[in-house]
Amino acid sequence: MQEYVDKPIKSYHDLDVFKRTYNAAISVVKEVIPKLPEHEKYDLWSQLSRSCKAIPRLIAEGYAKRHQKLGFQKYLDDAMAESNETHVSLCQCRDIYKINCEDLIREYEISGKQLYRLSEAWSNFKLKHKPTS
């Protein structure tokens, strides 16, 4: 069983979900998209490329706005939506074109859960640490 040690978060690079989604996006672009047929270039290919790349970008952008009341929260919600979209697109690649991407599908299942938990934790943290007047 893996033991988790609390480490200070000094940057979005310290977030496991950022690392996971960044690496998964690289794999999607290098391993899955090239296997899609040419006629999918402006549909599944394009959509999958955009959604997988958006997730770590949204996490990074939102982290920069973490001081705003709902800043980070909004970006985490958007990242979760993009993660769900990427998950569905990968399932379509598997089911329509028989592309083996089970490991990536699992990565996005985990990432979606991580984003949800981070969003909940951030929401609770912001409630507990309201600035006093």
Length of the chain: 133
How many other β-carbons are positioned within 10 Å of the β-carbon of residue 60?
A: 17
pLDDT of residue 127: 54
pLDDT of residue 126: 58
Percent of the chain with pLDDT over 70: 89
- pTM for the whole structure: 0.88
pLDDT digits (tens, 9 = 90+) for 1-26: 344 457 788 899 999 999 999 999 99
pLDDT of residue 1: 37
Per-position DSSP letters for 39-101, written without gaps between them: GGTTTHHHHHHHHHHHHHHHHHHHHHTTTSSSHHHHHHHHHHHHHHHHHHHHHHHHHHH----
CATH of domain 14-33+41-123: 1.20.1440.60
